[in-house]
Amino acid sequence: MGSAHGTAIIVGLAIIAGCALLLSLAFTGAALAYARRRGLLDQPGKRRSHTQPTPRGGGIGIVAAMLLAGVAAWCLLEGSLLWTQPAAFTAAVLAVALIGWRDDHKPLPVVPRLLVHFGAALLVGLAALAPWATRDPARWWLLLPLVPVLIGFINSHNFMDGIDGILGQQGLFVMLGLGALAAWHGDVGVAALAFATAAGCLGFLLFNWPPAKIFMGDVGSGALGLTIGAVAAFVVQRNPAMLWACAILPSAFLVDSGLTLARRMLAGQRWYAPHRQHLYQWLVRVNWSHARTDIAYMIWNLAVVAPLAWLAARQPAHGGGYFAVAYASAAIIWFAGKRACLAKARRCASHENA
């Protein structure tokens, strides 16, 4: 019976992922037609990494997949689940997606965006902590670190959406990892949400792989960032031993965005202004193709991040050490990569001036 039950769960999760993939393909295709009709195009520029006007807003396919397939399956598979948790998650993701959709049509000031991001992060934080804090009110203090972390996830993934394919493939990798962790511990509802989101990323990638037919846009990047942070929080809330594994999975993006942000702030630059200073952008600036850069990030995820996350999940007592290795090694690669790119850019400039 146990084997039959496990097989049924696997088949059910596969069906959910298949439905999410179809939803993503349909909504991304519709977004492409809409963007072309409305002239919703990202124009090339010196602070951008593309050379052709490209439609944006395709991330709505990922949002549709995660909400219409993922949340529905989450509710169906966890019959005892309080409706407030998926409802809060849905409201938060919709709020971030809608403010992003509005920003895709007409750029908004940073303050209203951050206010929506704060409200969405607070809502997810309350939903994630409620099962703990209702039994032990002292645990509500965890909102203090969790809300800024979730806001960071929203904005870091928005910042990292700068070349074809990179955010879609990162979402696919991280959500598959979080889904595997949830399924391993029997949390099939959260696993369904994660796998549906991963399938949504895959459907979008079919339109966004270099050369991209459509960009994700803020409608998708912020919502995907929040979803990654939220699903990680739900996994940890159900099994606190998975904290380090969940923190390791998004490390490549968090290190690139975090160190780039820190350097910009230390230099007195506006951290939220468009730029091309992330490592992946520097690689493109020194003539790496978008596809080559994407593949390099995925190789890092598969060769370094995935094994360390697996070890942290299998050996939670040593998870902090694996976490430190993941982030320290990514930071070393970031600094070394930036130095190599800057040196190559200077050599090219000196040849041009000679």
Q: Is the dihedral of CA 136, 141, 145, 149 positive or negative?
A: positive
Rounded to an integer, the average pLDDT of 250-271 is 91
Per-residue pLDDT tens digits for 188-245: 999 999 999 999 999 999 999 999 999 999 999 999 999 999 999 999 999 999 999 9
Rounded to an integer, the average pLDDT of 3-8 is 72
At residue 272, the pLDDT reads 72
Does the pLDDT at position 50 exceed 80?
no
21 SS3 class = helix
At residue 200, the pLDDT reads 98
Does the pLDDT at position 269 exceed 90?
no
- Helices H, strands E: what count in the chain? 15, 2
DSSP state, 52? S
Does the pLDDT at position 1 exceed 50?
no
Residue 36: phi and psi, rounded to 5, are -65, -40
Element (H, E) at 30: helix 2-38
d(C-alpha 27, C-alpha 31), whole Å? 6
Per-residue pLDDT tens digits for 153-194: 999 999 999 899 999 999 999 999 999 999 999 899 999 999
Crossing angle for the helix pair 166-184 and 2-38, to the nearest 10 degrees:
160
Does the pLDDT at position 120 exceed 80?
yes
CB 143 within 8 A of CB 270: no
Rounded to an integer, the average pLDDT of 324-328 is 98
What's this model's pTM, rounded to 2 decimal places?
A: 0.94
CB burial of residue 285 (10 Å; 0-12, 13-18, 19+): middle
Bridge-based pairing of strands 54-55 and 41-42 is antiparallel
Angle at 93 between CA 201 and CA 304, to 5 degrees: 45
65 SS3 class = helix
DSSP state, 135? T
Question: Measuring CA to CA, how many Å separate 213 from each of 25, 50, 96, 167, 276?
Answer: 13, 12, 24, 15, 21
